[in-house]
Structure 1
Amino acid sequence: MKDPGSQVRAGRLRLLGEWCARHFITVIVLWLLALGGLYGLNTAFGGTYSDNFSLPGTQSDDGARVLGRHVPGAGGIGAQVVLYDARRPLTGVQSQVDRAVGSLRTLPHVLSVTSPLPSTPAAPPTGALSPDGRTGYIGIQFNANPTSFGGSYLHGVDAAVQPLRAAGVQVEYGGLLGELARPRPTDLTSEIIGFGVAVIVLLAGFGSIIAAAIPLVTALIGVIVGVSCLGLIAAATTFASVSPTLATMIGLGVGIDYALFLITRHRQRLMDGADPVAAAGRAVATSGRAVIVSGCTVIVALAGLYVSQVSFIGKLGVAAAVTVVTAVAGAITLVPALLGLAGRRIDRYWVRRPVAEGDPAPAPAPKGVERGERKKRTGRTEPADGAVHDGWHRYAQRVERRPWWFLLAGLVAVGVLAIPLFSIRLGHIDDGADPTSFTDRRAYDLISAGFGPGANGPFILVVDQSAVPAADRPALASRIERALTDVPGAASITPLQPTADGQLLTGTAIPSGAPQSAGTTTLFHHLKDDALPGAVSGTGAKTYVTGTTAAMEDFLDLITARLPLIIGVVVALAFVIILIVFRGLLVALKAAVLNLLSIAASYGVVVAVFQWGWGGPSLGISGTVPIESYVPMMMFAIVFGLSMDYEVFLLARVQESWLRTHESKGSVALGLEITARVISCAALIMVSVFAAFILSDNIVVKMLGLGLAVSVLIDATIVRLLLVPAVMTLLGGSAWWLPGWLDRILPQVNREGEEATPCRRSASDGRPGAGVQGPPH
C-alpha cells in the first residue's frame, strides 16, 4: 500500500525543485533582491543587541525595586568610570573630577552620579577612593542597561570625562558601560577561516570546483538574509549581544551541510545519466525532505530553551533558529536553482576525479551508456555485484564482524572525555577574563589593584524595616551588625545605614575574591539565605542582596535549577521525532542515549580547557574561568538538534536497505558505507566553522565555538562511526520493532519523499521489525 498524502507532498517537493532548476534566473534574482533589501533595511532600521539580565521575581530584582522606591537614583543599573593618576592623589584634580561628575549627571538615562572624592575635607570617606588616593571610581546609575543605548551614547560620556584625560588622569569604563565601549565584534576573521577550511574539505572530498562553491554561496546568502531578519526583529525586542554571532555560527554550519546533502544526491543522479532538472527535482524530493526534517528538529530543540522561562535564554534560541530557517529555505530553492544554472557543467572544473554519493545498488545505466562509459563518468569501478566498494566498505565490514569491540572503544573514548564534567562549576565570567585591549578589563585591573578584586562585584545589602516598629529598629540594627561581623569570604561589610525616610537599612559587602570566584558565590548564598534572614528572624523585616553581581548569581541559580528540565524536554523531543520518522522504538532510544553520551564528552572538553586551564592561554584566555551559566543549556539544545542531521542521514540509508532486505547487519554496514564520506566531510566543515569562532575576543563565543566544534566532531566520529553502527548491529531486527498500537497513533511522516512508500505490517505478525514499514507486497 502507498501513502497518497506522502506521495502528494513528495510530488510537490519534486515539482518545487524542478521549477527552481528550470527557472533558475528568477529564483536567483529573487534571492539577491531579498539579500540586498533585507540587508539595507537592517542597516537603516535594525536594532541593537545588549545583555539584559533582568529577572523579575528574583530577590535581587525585588531588592533593586525596593531600593529604587525609597532612595531616588539608587535603583536602576550601575556602572563605573574608573580613574587612576600615577603622579598624584586624585584630590589634586578635584575640580576636574567635579566637572566630570556634573557633566555625567546631565546625560540621558542617568539616575544618579556619585563622586569618589568627599564634598568637603570634613566629610566622611565615600568608599570609592583607594587608600593611597590614586585610584577612584565615579558610580553611575542608569535607568536601563547601558549596552542598549548604542555606541553614539559614548560620545557624551567621553566629552564629560575629557577634562580628566586632559589633566593626565587615566580614565576607563567599567561594568556594563565598559561593555558598551568594546569594539563592535564582526568575527569576520572567523568567518573567513571557516569558509577557507570548508573550501578545502569540499574540494578534497568531492573534487568538483563548482560543486564545492554552491554550498558556500548558498550558506553565505542564507546567513546574511537570516542575520538581517534578526536585526529587524531586534528593533522590536532585546536580544543578547552574542545573538548575531551565534546565528552566524549555526547558519553557516547547517547551511553548508544542507546544501551538501542535496548536491551529493543530485550529482549522483547526473552521473547515472539523469537530466539536470529532473536530478535537481529528485534531490529536493529525497534529500530535501531530510533537510526539512533535520531543520525542523533543530528549530524544535532550540524552541525547547523557552522551558527555562528566561526570555534571555529563549531569545538566544530564536536567534539561532532564524538562520536555520533561511538555511532550509536556501537549500530547497536556491540550491536547485544554482544546480539548474550549472547543468551538466557542474563537474567540468575539478581538482581530482569527481565522486558522488555511491548508491549501493546503482540504477541501470541509461540506454546507450555502457559499463566503461559509466566508469568514465563516475570515476569508480563497479564490482560484479554492482556495489561500489571502497575503504568505507571494508571499515563497515569490520564493524559488522566485531560490533562489541567497536562499542567498547567508543564508550571508553566518550567516558575518558567526559571525566572533567564531574567537576564542572557554572558561573558568570567577569571582566578579568577579557583582553587587556578592552576598557572594562583595564578598569577591572585598576579596581583590583586599588581596592581588591572583590570591589569589582560588590553586593548591596537591603533590609526593609517598614513593618518593624520604630522603637525596635535600633535593636534590629544591632542584631544585623553582629550577624555581619567577620563573615567568611567577605573582605569588608559596611555598617548598614538607614535611608532618609528611615524605612530601609542599606550597606555594601565586598567579597574577598573576584566576582567569578566560587568564594563569591558562597558569600552570596550565605548572606542571602543565612546571615541576613537569621538576623531579622521574627521581626517582620525583609532582606535582599542586590546589585549586578547578585543578579548574576540569581541568574545562575535559576539556570542551574531548570537545566535538568530543559535536558529532559529536548531529549524527549528528539526521541519522539526519531520515533515518528523511523518508527523503531529502540532506534529512537538509542539516538537519545548516544546523544547524551556525546554531549557529556563535549562538556568534559570545555571544562578541561576553560575551567581547568588546559590549553586556555593558547586560546587567549587569561587564567581559568567558570563555565558560563547558560552555555551548557545552549550547547545541549543546539547539539541535540544538529546531531539529528547526521542521525537522519545515516539511519535513512540503513532503513532503506532494511526495508528491501530485512538483513540487519548488512543494512547497517551498507548505510555506513554510503554515508560515511559525506557525513565526515559535512562534519569537518561544521567543525571548522565553529572552531574558527575560538578566535573571537568574547570568552562566551570562544566557549560556544569550542564546545560546538568538539560536539560535532565527537558526534560524527565516535558516535556515528563507532557507537551507532555497533549498537544497530547488535540490536539487529529488533531495532525497528514498534508496538502495533503505537504505530497506529503516531503520525505518518514520509522521511525522504520516496516515490513508493512500502506498506506496513502490524506488530502481530511476529517477524523481526514487525510494526515498521516493510517491503512492497
Structure 2
Amino acid sequence: MIFRRRKPILLGSLIMVLVAAVFALPVFGELGNENDFDDPSAEAVVARDAVVAATGTYAAPQLVALVRLDAPASSAAGQARIRAVARELRHPGVAAVTAYEPGGDERLVSRDGRSTYLLATYKEDPRGATEAIEDRMRAFPWVTLGGGAIAAPQVGDQVSADILRAEIIAFPLLFLLSLLVFRSAVSALLPLAVGGATILLSFLAIRLINAHVNPMSVYALNLINGLGLGLAIDYSLFMVSRFREELAAGRSREEALRVTLRTAGHVVFFSAVTVACALAALIVFRQRFLYSMGIGGALCALIAAGVSLTLLPALLGALGERVNAGGPRRWKDAIAREAAGERSGFWYRHSRRVMRRPVPYSVAAGVLLVAMGLPFLRIEFTGVDASVLPKEQSARVVDDAIKQKFPPSETSPVYVAVPPGTPAAELRAFAARLPAPVAPPRVGEGRIDLIAPGQPLGEAAKDFVADVRAVDAPFEFWVGGQTAGFVDQQASLRDHLPLALAILCATTLIILFVMLRSVVLPIKALVMNLLTLSAAFGLMVLVFQDGHLDWLFRFDSQGAIESSQPVLLFAVAFGLSTDYGVFLLGRIKELHDSGLSNEEAVALGLQRTGRIVTFAAALMVVALGCFVTASVIFIKQLGFGVAVAVLIDATIVRALLVPALMRMLGDWNWWVPRRIARLLPA
C-alpha cells in the first residue's frame, strides 16, 4: 500500500514537517523549569503555598544581590553602596528588602568584612521585578545578581544553548558515520531526514501538551533532541539495510519494500513500543522534570517509529536502486562481498568462538559488569540549585560566594508554616521548643523562620529538618525551605520508584514475550539490562561523584549525583538496551524459525546485525553523548550515563553475553508453554 501511495505520503509528510517547523520551534520560549523537581503534594510545597496564601509573598527570598564593598561593611563608604543597592531593589513587585546595617545581622557580611548581600522577597505577583532590577543594576559593576529568580531563566537559556550546540556537533558527525556505515551519500541522508522530522513533530506534540493538557519541563527538549535523532537513525539503519539486502537478492522495489516492512518494520514497531513503555514508567513520578521526560521520550519513540514506517518506506519506494547512489564503486563491491561471504565474516566467526567456550566468556563478562557497578553502592545524592550552572553565570557566582565566604544565613532558610489564626501565645511557646543551633527562631506572620547549620543540602541541615518536624505542637504545621524540599524530593522518589520499576519490567517482559514467543529470552534480556545499567551507574559515580575525568568533560564535581538522574537514566538506558536486544534477538528468531539450529541462528543473526548494531550504537552515542558538552551538569550526567550504557550493551553484552548464554541455554531459549503459545497472535 505504501509503495503505491508513496507520492501522496511524501507530499503529506513534507507539509506536516513544514507545519511542525513553523509551530514547534516557539516551544523553547514557552516551557519553563520553575519547581520542576518538586512533588506538589510534598510537605515543603504545602508549607510554601501556605506562606504565600497567608502573606501574599514568596516564602523565601527570590533575589540575592552580592555587593563588593571595597571597604568595611560598617564604614560610610560601605553603607553608601548598601543603601544605593537597597534603593534600586525596591519595586512594586518586591515585598521586602533585607540589608545589613551597623550593629545588625552579621551573617549578611562576609568573613573578611568587605562584601555583603541583600535579599529581595517578592510578592505573589512580582510584576516584572526581576527584569526591572537587572536593568537598574547594570549601573553598578560591583553588584552581581543571583537567587532563584535569576538562576531559573539562566538554566533555561543554558539548556536552549546546549541543545543548539549539541545539534551543531552531532549532525555533521552523524552524517559522516552514516556515510561510513551505508557507503552511500543518499542512504546516509535518509536517517538525518527521519531524525529531523521526528524531532520537529515531537517538539510540536510537547508544545500542544504544554498548552492544553499539562505544563511540561524545558529539560524534556534535551531528551527529545538526542533520543529522537538516535532512535530515528537506528530505525533507519535497520529499514534501509534490509531494503538494500532484499534488492540485492533480486526482488523488485515493491516486493523488497513489502519484505522490509514485514521483517525489519515488525522489529522497529516492537522496539519503539518497548522504548516508549520504558520511558512512560516515568509518568508515575510527581516531579515535572521526570514525568515530562517520560511523556516526551515516549512520544518521541512512537513518532520515530511512525516516521520510519511511513515516510521512510515511501522514500525507499521512490528511490529504489538509487538508494545506493553517491558512493564509490569499491564501497558497493564491499557490500556485495560481505553479503556473499557472511559465514566467513567477523561477527559469525566471533560468535562461533564464544559459543565454543560459553562458560568462561559469560563468567568473565558478568564479573566485569558487576565490578564496574560496585561504585554505585556508595552513591551520594544532591539537589538542583545554582551550582548546576557554569561558573561564569551570575547565579552560580553568587551561590559560590555565599557558600564559601559567608556564614549560614537566610538565603535558603528553613521555615515553619502554621495555619491562619494560630494563637500568638501558642506560636511563641512552640517556637521556644524548636531547635536553634545557629540563631534564635524568628516568629512572623503565619510562619517561624529558622536557620539550619551547614550547607542547605548537607547532612547537618537534613538532620535539622527532621528534628524540627519531630517537635510536638498543639496545631498542624508544615516545614519548608530548600533543605526540606530536597528531603521531600528524595522521599517522593523512593515512594514512587517501586511502581515505576514494576511497570517498566512488566511491560518489557510482556512485549518481548509476544514478539519472541519465548519465556526464557525476555527474562534473560531483563537480567542483562540490569547488569548493563549497574555498570553505567558505577561509572557515573566514578566520574561525576568522585571527579575523575573532570578535566575531560569540563565540570566541577558536586561530590554527589543529582537525585533524579539514576531514575531517569534507568528508564532511558533500559529502553535503549532493550532496543538493541530486540533488533538482535528478532533477527535470530527469524533465522531460527526458518529452520536453522539454535547455534547457527545465533551466529548468522549476529553476523547480519553485528555491523549495523555496532554503528547504530556509535550513532546513538554521538546523538546522546553530545549532552556531555552541556553546561548544566545533570544534563551532562544523563548524556554520559546513556552513552556508556549503550557502549557496554553493544560490546560486552551483545558480543559476549548474548552468544554465550544463547549457547548455554540451547533449545530452552525458545521454550514456551503450549497453552500460552496458542493464545499468542500469529
Q: With structure 2 as the length reference, what TM-score do the two structures score?
A: 0.91
> What CA deviation, in whole Å up to 9, does each residue of 1:561-585 have, x standing for no partner?
3324322321121111111111111
Q: Does 1:425 align with 2:380?
A: yes
Is 1:394 the counterpart of 2:349? The answer is yes
Alpha-carbon offset, residue 326 of structure 1: 2.4
Shift in Å, 1:669: 1.6
Q: 2:87 aligns with which of 99, 109, 114?
A: 99
**1:555 CA displacement:** 0.9
Change (3 A) 1:381 1:436: closer
Looking at structure 2, the residues matched to 621 and 596 of structure 1 have their Cα atoms a distance apart, in angstroms, of 28
Deviations 1:675-721 (A, max 9, x none): 11111111111011111110011111101100111111111111111
Q: Could you tell me which residue of structure 1 aligns to residue 567 of structure 2? A: 633
**Hey, what does 1:83 align to over in structure 2?**
67
| Counterpart Cα distance in 2 of 1:352 and 1:320 | 40
The match for 2:142 is: 169
1:248-267 equivalences in 2 (<5 Å) = 248-267=225-244
- Find 2:464's aligned residue among 524, 527, 530: 527
Counterpart mapping for 1:275-294 below 5 A: 275-294=252-271
Q: 1:740: which partner in 2?
A: 674
Give the equivalent residue in structure 2 for 1:678: 612
1:30 to 4, 8, 12: 12
Contact 2:462 2:484 in 1 (8 A): no
The equivalent residue for 1:231 is 207
CA contact (8 A) 1:496 1:507 kept: yes
**Map of 1:34-73 to 2, 5 A cutoff?**
34-43=16-25, 47-52=30-35, 53-73=37-57
For residue 88 of structure 1, report the CA deviation from its aligned partner.
6.2
Provide closer, same or farther for how the CA distance between residues 675 and 455 of structure 1 changes in structure 2, counting only shifts above 3 A. farther
User: Number of paired residues?
Assistant: 671
Query: Structure 2 CA distance, aligned partners of 1:269 and 1:216?
Result: 22
Structure 1 equivalent of residue 659 of structure 2: 725
Tell me the residue number matched to 1:711.
645
Question: For residues 723 and 72 of structure 1, do their structure 2 counterparts lie closer, same or farther at Cα, with a shift above 3 Å needed?
Answer: same
1:511 to 430, 453, 457: 453
Summarize deviations over 1:70-112 as a string: whole Å, max 9, x none.
4442537834333333356441135422431222xx24xx5x2
Higher helix share goes to which structure?
2
Contact 2:67/2:116 (<8 A) preserved:
yes
d(CA) in 1 for partners of 2:175 and 2:425?
A: 78
* Structure 2 letter corresponding to 1:526: D
Name the CA distance, whole Å, in 1 between partners of 2:443 and 2:44: 19
- Contact 1:240–1:312 (8 Å) recurs in 2: yes
CA distance in 2, matches of 1:299, 1:50: 23
Q: What is the SS of the residue equivalent to 2:310? A: helix
2:432 equivalent to 1:478: yes
> For the structure 1 residues 440 and 505, does the alpha-carbon distance in structure 2 shift closer, same or farther, using more than 3 Å as the test?
closer
The answer to whether 1:462 aligns with 2:398 is no
Q: Secondary structure at the match of 1:240?
A: coil
Distance, in Å, in 2 between the alignment partners of 1:301 and 1:200 is: 30
Tell me which residue corresponds to 1:499. 444
Tell me the alpha carbon deviations over residues 255-304 of structure 1, each in whole angstroms, 9 at most, x when there is no partner: 10011110000001111222223322331232112111111111111111
> Quick check: 1:63–1:546 contact (8 Å CA) kept in 2?
yes
Judged with a 3 Å threshold, the aligned counterparts in structure 2 of structure 1 residues 27 and 625 are, in CA distance, closer, same or farther, namely farther
Question: Which residue does the alignment assign to 1:201?
Answer: 177
Out of 242, 249, 261, which is 2:219 matched to?
A: 242
AA aligned opposite 2:489: F
Change (3 A) 1:428 1:218: same
Residue 506 of structure 1 aligns to a residue in which SS? Answer: strand
- 1:730 deviation in Å? 0.6
Retained in 2: the 8 A contact 1:60–1:550? yes
Q: 2:38 touches 2:288 (CA, 8 Å); kept in 1?
A: no
- Provide Cα deviations, 1:101-152, integer angstroms capped at 9, x if missing partner: 222xx24xx5x2323145xx78x548544462632122233538x9xx9xx9
CA contact (8 A) 1:154 1:181 kept: no
Alpha-carbon distance change, 157 to 62 in structure 1, aligned in 2, over 3 angstroms: same
Structure 1 residues 94 and 324: alpha-carbon distance in aligned structure 2, compared to 1, 3 A threshold: same
The letter for the 2-side match of 1:210 is V
Kept in 2, the 8 Å contact 1:458–1:511? The answer is no
Which structure 2 residues correspond to residues 428-467 of structure 1 after superposition, within 5 A? 428-452=383-407, 454-455=408-409, 458-462=412-416, 464=418
SS at match of 2:415: strand
Q: Which is further off, 673-682 or 655-664?
A: 655-664
TM-score (norm 1): 0.80
Supply the distance in 2 between the matched residues of 1:205 and 1:352 (Cα, whole angstroms). Answer: 15
CA distance in 2, matches of 1:156, 1:290: 56
1:334 aligns to what?
311
Partner Cα distance (1:433, 1:611) in 2: 13
Contact 1:101 1:113 in 2 (8 A): no
Does the 8 Å CA contact 2:151/2:386 hold for their aligned counterparts? Answer: no
Partners of 1:77 and 1:548 within 8 A in 2 = no
Partners of 2:117 and 2:578 in 1: how far apart?
Answer: 54
Please state how far the C-alpha of 1:207 moved relative to its aligned partner: 1.5
- The one-letter amino acid paired with 1:166 is A
Distance 1:510 1:76, change over 3 A: closer
Q: Which residue of 2 aligns with 1:19?
A: 4
Could you say which structure has the larger radius of gyration?
Answer: 1
Residue 269 (structure 1) aligns with = 246
Q: Distance in 1 between matches of 2:316 and 2:359?
A: 43
